[in-house]
Amino acid sequence: MTDSSPVQVPGTVLTMRRIGTYQTMTLVAPGVAERFRPGQFVAVAVGGEQSSMLLRRCFSVREVKPDYGGTVEIVFAVRGKGTEWLAALRPRDIVDVAGPLGRPFPLPRDPVNCVLLGVAHGSAALFPLAAVLGQRDCRLHFVLGGATSDDVLGARGARRTGDSVAVATEDGSLGSAGSVGDLLPGVIEDAQADVVYACGPLDTLRAVTRTCTGYGIPAQVAVEEPMACGTGVCMACVLPVIGDDGGTHMVRTCVEGPVFRGERVRWDDVGTIPFDALGAPRALRLGERS
């Protein structure tokens, strides 16, 4: 059995490519690829050894391969100094990589009809999942979206591997004008979906969960909550989630997630500590009673 515990290794940059508005980086990261399961992520140190940027950057994994001893491909948008530094790397440069981290997607035991929904570069996590689901003879129906056609990730690959692909862009430059949430009910009905796997912003995941609840099917969602450390130390990515005991727990997206059952997340309370959460500050509980 493969050891599933994460490792921290020096990763060698193999390739850097642009896809639409995103940057992709393939790293040779021995030990990470063979441990990886769909839905997990990696945390990459940025800025070099003398950098003042102490926090790692966490990224979904788009693809793993056994090549060169194990390669991992990540996709990211350049949005700050850390990702600017990463985007400037060149083949043979070395970065510190920790992974795989987080809780993966649960997988069905039998072939089922799956809808895979993703927005922007968050869609990256869907593709290793699709590869595994395909090996289990599941039918795959993609719903992909973004602000513009350049922001939609993986539409071509989805057409190669999926049984159907629906695309929505906010400006209508590719597929339907609107959001992926607009397309989801029709795809669920046409596909006779048994489960929806989703990655994207919180508002999208909230809408996906609401739609799935209406159809009585499970939503497995990979939350894109900002993670400062990626290992559960800093507690910066906590969410209110209903546990198996029926109580609300403040859990870490990076350790107890990033994958959750959608109906277990208290979406309307994200960013707060609900008064009835286990371990909530006493003052909040007393204030709620008064």
List pLDDT tens digits, range 135-147.
999 999 999 999 9
234 is known to lie in a ligand binding site: yes
60 is known to lie in a ligand binding site: yes
| Of the candidates 200, 260, 261, the residue with the CA atom closest to the CA atom of residue 60 | 200
Domains of the chain by residue range: 7-101, 105-222, 225-280
254 is known to lie in a ligand binding site: yes
Distance CA 162, CA 92 (A): 34
CA-CA-CA-CA torsion sign (197, 200, 203, 204): negative
Whether the Cβ atoms of residue 91 and residue 118 lie closer than 8 Å to each other: no
237 is known to lie in a ligand binding site: yes
82 is known to lie in a ligand binding site: yes
What is the model's pLDDT at position 290? 42
User: Which residues of the chain fall below pLDDT 70?
Assistant: 1-2, 282-290
What pLDDT digit, counting tens, does each position of 72-84 carry?
999 999 989 999 9
58 is known to lie in a ligand binding site: yes
105-222: CATH class: alpha beta
Q: Do domains 7-101 and 105-222 have the same CATH topology?
A: no
Distance CA 98, CA 29 (A): 9
| Distant-in-sequence, close-in-space partners of 99: CB < 8 Å, separation ≥ 6 | 6, 7, 29, 32, 35, 36, 40, 41, 42, 43, 61, 72
Distance CA 169, CA 63 (A): 24
199 is known to lie in a ligand binding site: no
What is the model's pLDDT at position 228? 77
CATH architecture classification, 7-101:
Beta Barrel (2.40)
What is the model's pLDDT at position 283? 59
